[in-house]
């Protein structure tokens, strides 16, 4: 698991959308998801402003700053999982609009760049908020190689991601938004 996280950090550094970002909205992985903490630490150490979600009662997301592992608190959400969330001040749901890149959690992504989420709708709200504001950050998913599938279910409101980072490399998707330079 630690080796996979190290490889993902190395791969993510190859992605200009992350390596050149000033602000990245990310998340702390849970369960069997690829570990994000090493990437969060790497971004923070390089002076990147890292925003992490705070789950609200209505499943929307507020945001707070990541200032290192000590800035996280385990928060148990009624009837749901325990998440590591930032301890500091809340910045509001619109804080994500300042992000140059958004790391999205996912269960899988397909050849079109369509992401299968966890089903709570939190990131659908984030993506809708970005679209309404005309914000155009890079949308990136970290997954294991086996989670890149031929096709995942999608609905009319779903939007493709720009790239997926896996241990074996980076894959970009046509129609995923802004033109990006190849890696």
Binding-site members for substrate are: 28, 33
Task: Tell me the CA distances in angstroms from 144 to 49, 135, 154, 157, one per residue in order.
Answer: 26, 28, 20, 25
Rounded distance, CA 107 to CA 128, Å?
Answer: 20
Instruction: Work out the angle at residue 179's Cα, subtended by the Cα atoms of residues 15 and 43, and round it to the nearest 5 degrees.
Output: 25
Paired tokens of 5: 């996280």
- Residue 128 makes CB contacts below 8 A (sequence gap 6+) with 157
Residue numbering of the annotated binding site for ATP: 115-123
């Amino acid at each position: 698991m630690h080796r996979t996280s190290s490889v993902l950090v190395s791969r993510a550094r190859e992605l200009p959308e992350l390596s050149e970002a000033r602000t990245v909205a990310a998340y702390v992985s849970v369960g069997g998801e690829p570990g994000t903490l090493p990437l969060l630490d790497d971004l923070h150490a390089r002076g990147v402003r890292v925003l992490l979600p705070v789950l609200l009662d209505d499943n929307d997301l507020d945001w707070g700053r990541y200032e290192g592992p000590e800035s996280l608190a385990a928060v148990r959400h009624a009837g749901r999982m325990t998440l590591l969330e930032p301890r500091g001040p809340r910045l509001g749901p619109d804080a994500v609009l300042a992000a140059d890149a958004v790391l999205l959690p996912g269960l899988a992504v397909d050849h079109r760049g369509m992401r299968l989420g966890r089903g709570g709708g939190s990131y659908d709200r984030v993506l809708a908020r970005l679209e309404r504001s005309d914000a155009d950050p890079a949308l990136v998913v970290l997954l294991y190689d086996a989670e890149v599938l031929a096709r995942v279910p999608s609905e009319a409101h779903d939007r493709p991601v720009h790239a997926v980072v896996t241990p074996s490399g980076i894959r970009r998707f046509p129609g995923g938004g802004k033109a990006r330079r190849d890696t």
